[in-house]
Amino acid sequence: MNIEFFIFLLPFVIFSPDVFTQEKISEKPECQAFFDKHQSTGTILIVDGRGSTEKVSVYDSARANQRYSPASTNKIPHTLFALDAGIVKDAFQVFPWDGVKRE
């Protein structure tokens, strides 16, 4: 093959995000039952990187691709991290307020 062919293909390789990702995204419509049970709307995205290739599972991929404000959802994993690290002993531990007003 000649150099012109490689120069022609180079932009497609560089600017194609799917070239280097081998992951398959698996749609999980069965997760809808969880949202229906609580009369809510949402999405679930699970990335399992334990194997040699990542496995991605998603419910409602269209919604997962939208940006939303995280609101207080960041408190959930942070609480689990604190419990796992032993920083918080249980759900009843009280942290006294230091009296400093914050925005």
Question: Distance (Å, rounded) from C-alpha 85 to C-alpha 49?
Answer: 22
Nearest to 29 by CA among 44, 13, 48, 46: 44
- Local structure of 47: helix, strand or coil: strand
Q: Which of 40, 52, 69, 72 is flagged as catalytic?
A: 72
Q: Is 57 a catalytic residue?
A: no
Mind telling me the catalytic residues?
72
